[in-house]
A and B are shown apart, each in its own frame.
Chain A
Amino acid sequence: MALDQETFALLKESVRRFVQERLVPNEDRVEHEDEVPAEIIAEMKELGLFGLSIPEEYGGIGLSMSEEVEIGFELGQTALAFRSVFGTNVGIGSQGILMDGTEEQRRTYLPKIATGEYIFSFALTEPGAGSDAASLKTSAVLDGDHYVINGTKRFITNAVRAQGFTLMARTDAANKGAGGISAFIVPRDTPGITLGKIDKKMGQRGTKTCDVIFENARVPAANIIGGKPGVGFKTAMKVLDRGRLHISSISTGMSKRLLKEAATYASERKQFGQAIAEFQLIQGMLADMQTELYAAESMVRDGAARYDARDPQMPMLAACCKYFTTEAVGRAADRAVQIHGGAGYINEYKVERFYRDVRLLRLYEGTSQIQQLVIARNLLKNLGN
């Protein structure tokens, strides 16, 4: 349900203030300690960030997509590690339960996910199944009223922080495609679950990913999302569809931050007796950043409004948004580093880190190539209409 303007203005202002006054000043600490400080996580819970997308009736804030992207524009303006802490609760970790879960599953899990008492991860990717997620091998075999789960999930964001997983596993061994996959709610404390070493990554220090290994982990059959086996891949794709708009808004927020860093630096740095911002070649880069930022904002707002209006073109449009905004923030980061000169290569400067941080945005929740495929496939399919 959409909020009245006044209430939404307050919400947005509250998040903006928190980002600017609490998160931005802690960026260095996160970079150096490779951890989001516990007190900041506690403040995020208190503020209500874990429940942004969960409806009020389940204890969340219940933002519409249009509202969520406006909040995303704010959240994206600081080190991406902060958002990652609650990102899986807002997006991929919880949405499957909300979209396709039974009423009982929603009532059991969503209120705790909304407050951050439970952190939920999304476990789809495997060592042998990335872009081709439908080929996943993790098996779930029915034994009485439980499924026995075996397999390895890779690069699982927040697994070390998680109390539970939205897990995609194959319940029908005979069906090697999407139709053999089911989505499960798996509590972290289920015996038979172990975590791999925490991955060392290029950027986004403070975020945590690792393998999640299932060895004869017994999960009640009642934990299949929606109670129906064989539709888990559909659930996962719906979740990712929405997630693409969220990631688009975060990417756009980061583009804004990069422009601010670059423009500020260009105004202060002097060479040849003047601020480098006076040079037209620098201005050209700033103008390109501003133009792409504006395009991204407009596109994401439009995409979100169409999502709320249930536009049938959505899968394609969400892919367009993710493709454009994540590539755009990559270009923005590159220009921001260029404008900083050598300083842009030095860790002390924010743009050096952001340059590494944003690289991930083009890879996860569907690589740019996968977005291109989704876009092209849909547009060709609709050619006749």
Chain B
Amino acid sequence: MKILVPVKRVVDYNVKVRVKADQTGVETANVKMSMNPFDEIAVEEAVRLKEAGIATEVIAVSCGLLSCQETLRTALAIGADRAILVETDVELQPLAVAKLLAAVFKKESPDLVILGKQAIDDDSNQTGQMLGALLGRPQATFASKVVIEGGAAQVTREVDGGLETIKITLPAIVTTDLRLNEPRYVTLPNIMKAKKKPLENVKPADLGVDVTPRLKTLKVTEPPKRSAGVKVPDVATLVAKLKNEAKVI
């Protein structure tokens, strides 16, 4: 069984992001970048399936700038077998990424695609779903457990109000939620091994995909500053404020 794991390079989750002065986006120059944490969970899951003898090959794929190679090296260090970079400096939107991934899917014919439910930079939560639709394959989003059995995946999904377990036929798309697993620390010997693993570089044109953006960003702004809190003298005042001012009870 072959698993394809798309990974995205994003601003590191520890970085306090700053909006650019011209409001066209967030500052990424000289900012620490890392693998999207949900994608890290996806790579970890794929590698665990390989270690359990269920998967035979794990292929990491990333779309974007040449610097995404570093993200792919991380995936290789966690345990992916090889990597593909779809290199472009065009700003990629979820649909374009889904199309690129669909093209890679057709080339590689994996049995399973595992990717993050969303990326922590734009929080779109669209790529996995769009990929499923473009390929006409089943999808299980927000997975907190994945069991592969006889050509199908039994996936436990984190939904509002509880857990839902569904069974989907492979090949299929799974998107990861936070509780699927806890990714390992990449060890130094594995980073050294990752150096020698194959990393292929293709261009969107090689895949016959037009990645021109379709959405226009009007502006990006900082969230409003939190205003200072108030101290209340007693519970009665608190309840009154919650009722009348905040209108939450």
Q: In the assembled complex, which residues on chain A have CB atoms less than 8 Å from the CB atom of B195?
A: 3-4, 7
Q: B189 in the interface, Cβ–Cβ < 8 Å?
A: yes
The majority secondary structure among interface residues of chain B is helix
A61's contact among B34, B192, B194, by CB below 8 Å, is which? B192
In the complex, how many residues of chain B place their beta carbon closer than 8 angstroms to a beta carbon of chain A?
15
Q: Do residues A11 and B191 form an inter-chain contact, with CB atoms below 8 A?
A: yes
What 1/0 flags go to B182-195 for Cβ under 8 Å of A? 00011111011011
Question: Bound complex: CA of A56 vs CA of B188, how far in Å?
Answer: 11
Q: For the complex, give the distance between the alpha carbons of A22 and B186 in Å.
A: 13
Cβ-defined contact, B188 with A49, below 8 A = yes
B186 with A10: CB separation less than 8 A = yes
Known: A4-B195, A7-B195. A61 touches B188 (CB 8 A): yes
Chain B hits for A9, CB < 8 A:
70
- Give A46 to B189 CA distance when docked, in angstroms: 9
Query: Are A46 and B192 touching (Cβ within 8 A)?
Result: no
Instruction: List chain B residues, Cβ under 8 A from A56.
Output: 192
A10 contacts B189, CB within 8 Å? no
CB-defined contacts of A15 to chain B, threshold 8 Å: 188
In the bound complex, how far is the Cα of B9 from the Cα of A13, in angstroms? 15
Taking the complex as formed, is A161 at the interface, i.e. its CB lies under 8 A from any CB of chain B? no
* Chain B residue, CB-CB nearest to A56: B192
The reply to whether A18 and B191 contact each other, CB–CB distance below 8 Å, is no
Q: Which residue of B lies closest to A52 (CB)?
A: B188
The number of A-B residue pairs with CB atoms under 8 Å apart is 48
Interface readout for A11-37 with B: 1 if CB under 8 Å, 0 if not? 101110110001000000000000000
B189 close to A48 (CB less than 8 A): yes
Task: Please judge, given known A-B contacts A4-B195, A7-B194, A10-B77, whether A51 and B188 are in contact too, CB under 8 Å.
Answer: yes
The reply to whether A10 and B187 contact each other, CB–CB distance below 8 Å, is no
Q: How many Å from the CB of A113 to the closest CB on chain B?
A: 14
Min Cβ gap B163→A in Å is: 28
Using known A-B contacts A4-B195, A7-B192, determine if residue A14 contacts B70 with beta carbons closer than 8 Å: no
Tell me the complex Cα distance, A13–B73, Å: 13
- A14 vs B74: C-alpha distance in the bound complex, in angstroms? 10
Task: Determine whether the beta carbon of B189 is less than 8 Å from that of A51.
Answer: yes
Instruction: Give, as a whole number of angstroms, the nearest-CB distance from A191 to chain B.
Output: 35
B175 CB–A CB distance under 8 Å: no
Q: Is B141 an interface residue (CB 8 A)?
A: no
Query: Is the pair B185, A18 in contact by a Cβ cutoff of 8 Å?
Result: yes
Give Cα A56–Cα B187 distance, bound, in whole angstroms.
Answer: 14
Contact of A198 with B by CB under 8 A: no
Within the complex, the shortest CB–CB distance from A214 to chain B, in Å, comes to 35
- B127 close to A (CB within 8 Å): no
Contact of B73 among A10, A18, A43 (CB under 8 A): A10
- Asked if B189 contacts A14 (CB within 8 A), the reply is no
Contacts of A48 in B (CB 8 A): 187-189
Is B129's beta carbon under 8 Å from chain A?
no
Q: Nearest CB to that of B189 among chain A residues?
A: A48
Chain B residue nearest to A115 in the complex (CB): B189
Task: State which residues 50-93 of B face A: CB under 8 Å.
Answer: 69-70, 73-74, 77
Query: Which residues in A have their C-beta under 8 angstroms from that of B189?
Result: 48, 51, 61
8 Å CB interface, B118-164 against A? none
Tell me, yes or no, whether A6 is within 8 Å of chain B by CB. yes
Task: Please indicate the chain B residues that have their CB under 8 angstroms from the CB of A287 in the complex.
Answer: none
Interface string of A241-252 (1 = CB under 8 A from B): 000000000000
Residue in A6, A10, A51 whose Cβ sees the most chain B Cβ within 10 Å: A10
Interface hits, B225-245 → A, CB 8 Å: none
Tell yes or no: A379 within 8 A of B by CB. no
Question: Which residues of A lie under 8 Å from residue B69 when comparing CB positions?
Answer: 6
Contact (Cβ within 8 A) A10 B185: no
Q: How far is the CA of A165 from the CA of B49 in the complex (A)?
A: 42
CB distance from B39 to the nearest CB of A (A): 15
Is A7 within 8 A of B186, CB to CB?
A: no
Cα of A269 to Cα of B189 in the assembled complex, Å:
43
The distance in angstroms between the C-alpha atoms of A47 and B191, with both chains bound, is 10
Report yes or no: A47 in contact with B188, Cβ–Cβ below 8 A.
Answer: yes
- Please determine whether A46 and B191 come into contact, CB atoms closer than 8 angstroms: no
Partner of A17, one of B77, B185, B192, B194: B185
Minimum distance in angstroms from B32 CB to a CB of chain A: 9
Whole-angstrom distance between the alpha carbons of A46 and B188 in the complex? 9
Shortest beta-carbon distance, B107 to chain A, in Å? 25
Q: Using Cβ atoms and an 8 Å threshold, which residues of chain B touch A22?
A: 185
**What would be 20 A-B contacts, judged by CB atoms less than 8 Å apart?**
A4-B195, A6-B69, A7-B73, A7-B194, A10-B74, A10-B77, A11-B188, A13-B34, A14-B186, A14-B188, A18-B185, A22-B185, A46-B187, A47-B185, A47-B188, A48-B187, A49-B188, A51-B189, A61-B188, A61-B189
Chain B positions near chain A (C-beta within 8 angstroms): 34, 69-70, 73-74, 77, 185-189, 191-192, 194-195
Extra 9 A-B pairs, beta carbons < 8 Å, given A10-B77, A10-B194, A14-B188: A6-B73, A7-B192, A10-B74, A10-B186, A13-B34, A17-B185, A48-B188, A48-B189, A51-B189
List the 7 shortest-distance A-B pairs measured between CB atoms, nearest first.
A48-B188, A48-B189, A10-B191, A61-B188, A14-B186, A6-B70, A47-B187
